[in-house]
Amino acid sequence: MNAGAGHFITFEGGEGAGKTTQIAKLAEVLEQRGRDVVRTREPGGSPAAEEIRGLLLHHETSWEPLSEALLHYAARCEHLRETIRPALARGAWVLCDRFSDSTLAYQGYALGLNRDAIETLERLVVAGTGPDLTIILDVSPNVGMARLGKRGGDKDRYERMDSDFHVRLRDGFLQIARESPARCVVVDAERDPEAVHKDVLTAVRDKLRTFPG
């Protein structure tokens, strides 16, 4: 739970889950109701963090899982300092495409990094500025990768991982949801985007009682 006056919602899920679409739809609803909305992403979300994003996603370096986690948390530290904490302090709704759960799912569950290492970094960097609500958009790896294929363009390092990686990734997100039921809501994201959006709105209304009517 964040310590500011705003609301912090993260969207998680495997590749091709539709996070960008759902963030845009929720942001539109909130903005129509006069709310200050900040849309952001990880890795990235601030100038320094965006530079680290380039290293992680678009360089051909074969990073060790610990090296990846360190880079993700370096980016997260800057993202929190420059973007998230100031927005929450002024009362904004922060909608973030990925956050700490992605590090646990990708580097932990999918790549095998010791969870203790991730939790140590989490305590040092996040320090209480966690999400009020996490929407986990669940798609099977086959559906997610098919969507990426239709999207076209170059794939990043994680999108190019093999099918076993994506199975472990999905399992990781579902395990995170089971461990944190008060914060996480799993939404079937294989359906039409409007149906998914309705479930997202329901989750936000149920979890955050201050959601504008």
Annotated binding site: 13-20
Q: How far apart are CA 37 and CA 40, in angstroms?
A: 10
H or E segment and range at residue 15: none
- Single-letter amino acid code for the residue at 19: K
Which segments are annotated as binding site for ATP? 13-20
Please answer whether residues 137 and 19 qualify as being in contact, where contact means their C-beta atoms are separated by less than 8 angstroms: yes
Q: How far apart are CA 21 and CA 71, in angstroms?
A: 26
Any residues with CB less than 8 A from the CB of 211 and at least 6 apart, and which? 204, 205
Length of the chain, in residues:
213
Within 13 Å and on the Cβ side, how many CA atoms surround 133? Answer: 23
